[in-house]
Amino acid sequence: MPHDHSHEMSPSGHPYRTDDDVPLSYWQQMEIAIREILIEKGVTSAAEIAAQVEAMDARGPANGAALVARAWSDGEFRALLMRDAGAACAQMGFDIGTLKLIALENTENVHNVVVCTLCSCYPRNLLGLPPDWYKSRAYRSRTVREPRRVLAEFGVELGDDVEIRVHDSTADMRYIVIPRRPEGTAGLSRPELAALVGRDAMIGTGLARVPGAAPPGG
């Protein structure tokens, strides 16, 4: 039964993209064909594909936030994270596969931001799927050219004394930004700290939330 999804919002607060009810496109047709052929030839199975999609849906920035919260509250872990982020993830039980992961720590004088100028490399296992803008032509081209302006558009206004370091991801090297721990968070538990760490803060286009305040840059 055709119906209009366009005014409905998903649980994550984003509009649904029109899906099943729109006319079949050439590329959708190709997806169905490839999927059926791969299942027929035993390369994969319908169940395996469904499980993969389910795992994708379940993944969000929670693992990344947990990593940051622990780094903020455990000096030894923080040192390990900065030295060997893969080992730190393993200690948390987060599988990052064969990727090399590098943690970038923001300080009073240095702000890190991550981009993938070539395509859309992103630490999915820690942050979920990349947002649309991360994959956009505008973000990918401008972040390396005028990072200060791009950050300002995201609501991150940095003083001239703060150096901005832009990190360009590759297929096998990913970055995660460790934002600065906000003031007034000394007594917070790790889950409370993690709740202050949004996706954008770990890309570098946002900051960690101050308890009780609205997040800068969304």
Partner 1 sequence: MGGAESGAISRDEHDFAFWEKRVDALVILAQARGLFTVDALRRVLEDMGPEAFETMSYYERWVAALNQNLVERGVYTVSELGARMERIAERGVTYGEAADE
Catalytic residues: 116, 119-121
Q: Which is nearer to partner 1, 92 or 119 (CB)?
A: 119
Q: How far apart are CA 129 and CA 120, in angstroms?
A: 10
**In angstroms, what CA-CA distances link 88 with 82, 95, 105, 178?**
9, 10, 14, 13
Element (H, E) at 155: none
Class of residue 190 by CB neighbours under 10 A (exposed 0-12, middle 13-18, buried 19+) = middle
- Residue 190 neighbours by CB under 8 Å, 6+ apart: 66, 69, 70, 73
**Structure-block tokens of residue 11:** 């649980």
Q: Which is nearer to partner 1, 87 or 171 (CB)?
A: 171
Q: Which is nearer to partner 1, 83 or 149 (CB)?
A: 149
Residue from 114, 91, 92, 94 nearest 102 by CA: 114
Rule CB under 8 A: which residues touch partner 1?
2, 10, 12, 14-25, 27-38, 41, 43-44, 48-49, 52-53, 56-57, 115, 117-120, 129, 131-133, 135-142, 144-145, 150, 153, 168, 171-172, 218
Amino acid symbol at 17? R
Q: Which is nearer to partner 1, 123 or 193 (CB)?
A: 123
Q: Which is nearer to partner 1, 32 or 79 (CB)?
A: 32
Angle at 87 between CA 85 and CA 88, to 5 degrees: 60
Least distance to partner 1 from the beta carbon of 16, Å? Answer: 6
| Strand blocks (E) in 47-124 | 100-105, 110-115
Cβ 211 vs Cβ 185: under 8 Å: yes
Amino acid symbol at 61? P
